[in-house]
Amino acid sequence: MEKENKKCTCDCGCECGDKCNCICCSPKKWHHGSRGGMDMGGFYCVGMIGVAIYYIQQVHGFWPIVVAILKAMVWPAFLLYKVFGMIHM
């Protein structure tokens, strides 16, 4: 018996013929980016190291260095606070 070529329209609008295995409707396509959401991790890590060096150069003593490292971990919050302060939001 010959396989019937039955065209159906998927939810995305393509006519692939196989609604269950459509490439453009598959869950893999729903994820943004090919690295699973880790696109900015390298930028954050390099930024954290740079900010930690900047903060540590300005302090002396053990506990101020610990505080400088903690500040370096949340440097985007300080950056956004300053930016929003400049644009008066």
pLDDT (tens digit, 9 = 90+) per residue, 51-66? Answer: 999 999 999 999 999 9
The answer as to whether 5 is a domain residue is yes
Compute the distance between CA of residue 62 and CA of residue 7 in angstroms, rounded to an integer. 70
**Angle subtended by helix axes 75-86 and 62-73, to nearest 10:** 70
Are 45 and 82 contained in the same domain?
Answer: yes
Reported as a pLDDT band with limits 50, 70 and 90, residue 31 is very low
The answer as to whether 13 is a domain residue is yes
Domain that includes residue 13, residue range: 1-30
pTM over 0.85: no
Q: What integer pLDDT is reported at residue 43 of this predicted model?
A: 82
